[in-house]
């Protein structure tokens, strides 16, 4: 049984963002998920986001 970590970057979709937020036990609405995903996509860097960086978008 392998645990896979989903990498979040500017190419990530809503499902990947939702999965990471769920693993962090963060509750969100569909509108918030859209905003968070759009903010991630606007990042200039293509490197993956840490959990701390993701939380800065919430």
Ordered by start, the domain boundaries in the chain are 14-57
Positive/negative CA dihedral, 30, 8, 51, 19: positive
Model pLDDT for residues 4-56, shown as the tens digit of each residue? 667 788 888 999 999 999 999 999 999 999 999 999 888 877 778 888 888 88
User: What would the two tokens of residue 15 be?
Assistant: 């499902």
Residues 6+ apart with CB under 8 A from 43: 9, 10, 49
Q: Tokens 């963002």 sit at which residue?
A: 17
pTM of the model: 0.78
């Amino acid at each position: 049984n392998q645990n896979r970590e989903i990498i979040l970057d500017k190419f990530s979709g809503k499902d990947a963002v939702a999965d990471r937020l769920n693993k962090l036990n963060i509750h969100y609405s569909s509108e918030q998920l859209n905003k968070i995903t759009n903010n991630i996509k606007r990042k200039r860097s293509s490197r993956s986001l840490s959990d701390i960086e993701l939380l800065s978008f919430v």
